[in-house]
Amino acid sequence: MRSSLPDIPEYWFIFQNDRLLLMKNSVPARFPDLHWLSRFKPDFLRQYKLGIFNTIDCFCAELDARAALPDEVEPVPLRKAFEILGNDWYAAAAKAYSVINWDKNHQYCGRCGHATRHKPGTFERVCDTCGLSLYPRISPSIIVLIQKDDKILMSRSPHFPPGAFGLIAGFVEVGESIEDAVHREVKEKVDIQIKNLRYFGSQSWPFPDSLMIGFTAEYASGDIHIDRQEIEAADWYRYDNLPGRPSSSISIAKKLIDYFIAKQSQSS
């Protein structure tokens, strides 16, 4: 730990058991800072400098699962923490979690099996035995809102919480474009054709390492036939009668659905 504390603030995204440490009774949410670290003197398993977010230097670190925590911090489950942080700090927290998991999962080379080392000042782990470099992985995935008149297609996966519905989504496969992935996922999961595919927006989603790429599309043809290995229900729903839609304010699925509702409300 440094002997003197700088005037420039630092925020630390500290994880323990896949939970993010936040300062208790702090509104808005506040992260541990350098002054807190100088008192607590934690022994981190791993740590990285993330970069500058909102003009503040940010770092990430992981504590051992057995480490005792002082009373002033609270370990918050990740999804709940992301909801608390909102859009201002979500991106930094998502990056922090992804970097920690990448470092934890790449201690050894996947090609030759020897130990890797961190290359200082980078997000890179190097195998000195075979020369392989390992970087944090991003897995692109798509999500699409499909509109048919004043209705949208909503589906339910078996792993969803009870009553929850969502939009068609899935990972981009090797060798295909993002647009091809949208058409393939829709065809595979509900057996319909779509048209007028338009980009909507994107979102980092570190569960485990996705980049969600959102689209809107219009129904073209076909009847719904679900892939029962991935979907247990799917149907068309009016904008004013949508079932169990996502509640998270940071979810791109919710942003897509809110966009559709606002558009339909204005035209009705």
Assess if residue 4 is contained within a domain. no
CATH number, position 245: 3.90.79.10
* DSSP at 161: P
- Please list, residue by residue across 102-115, b when 16 or more beta carbons sit within 10 angstroms of its beta carbon and e when fewer do: bbeebeebeeeeee
What is the three-class DSSP state of 130? coil
Distance CA 161, CA 147 (A): 24
- Tell me: do 143 and 251 sit in the same domain: yes
Alpha-carbon dihedral sign for residues 23, 26, 28, 34: negative
Assess if residue 52 is contained within a domain. yes
Q: Show which of 84, 104, 124 is a domain's final residue.
A: 104
Assess if residue 5 is contained within a domain. no
Closest C-alpha to 62, from 76, 51, 48: 48
Query: With a threshold of 0.85, does the pTM exceed it?
Result: yes
- Tell me: do 179 and 83 sit in the same domain: no
Per the structure block, which two tokens stand in for 123?
């997000």
- Tell me: do 114 and 100 sit in the same domain: no
- Tell me: do 90 and 208 sit in the same domain: no
- Tell me: do 228 and 114 sit in the same domain: no
Assess if residue 2 is contained within a domain. no
Per the structure block, which two tokens stand in for 197?
């595919």
Q: Show which of 81, 104, 127 is a domain's final residue.
A: 104
- Tell me: do 128 and 216 sit in the same domain: no
Boundaries of domain holding 82: 10-104
Distance CA 252, CA 95 (A): 17
- Tell me: do 177 and 257 sit in the same domain: yes
Per the structure block, which two tokens stand in for 248?
């998270």
Secondary structure of 216-233 as H, E, C letters: EEEEEECCCCCCCCCCCE
Assess if residue 88 is contained within a domain. yes
Please give the tally of structural domains in the chain.
Answer: 3
Assess if residue 183 is contained within a domain. yes
What is the three-class DSSP state of 267? helix
- Tell me: do 255 and 193 sit in the same domain: yes
- Tell me: do 247 and 191 sit in the same domain: yes
Assess if residue 3 is contained within a domain. no
Q: Show which of 55, 85, 104 is a domain's final residue.
A: 104
- Tell me: do 42 and 78 sit in the same domain: yes
Assess if residue 46 is contained within a domain. yes
Contact 129, 214 (CB under 8 A): no
Torsion, Cα 34 53 215 173, to 10 degrees, reads -60
Which positions of the chain have pLDDT values less than 70? Answer: 1-8, 268
The reported pLDDT for the residue numbered 134 is 98
With residue 140 as reference, give the H or E element that holds it.
strand 139-148
- Tell me: do 262 and 151 sit in the same domain: yes
- Tell me: do 146 and 165 sit in the same domain: yes
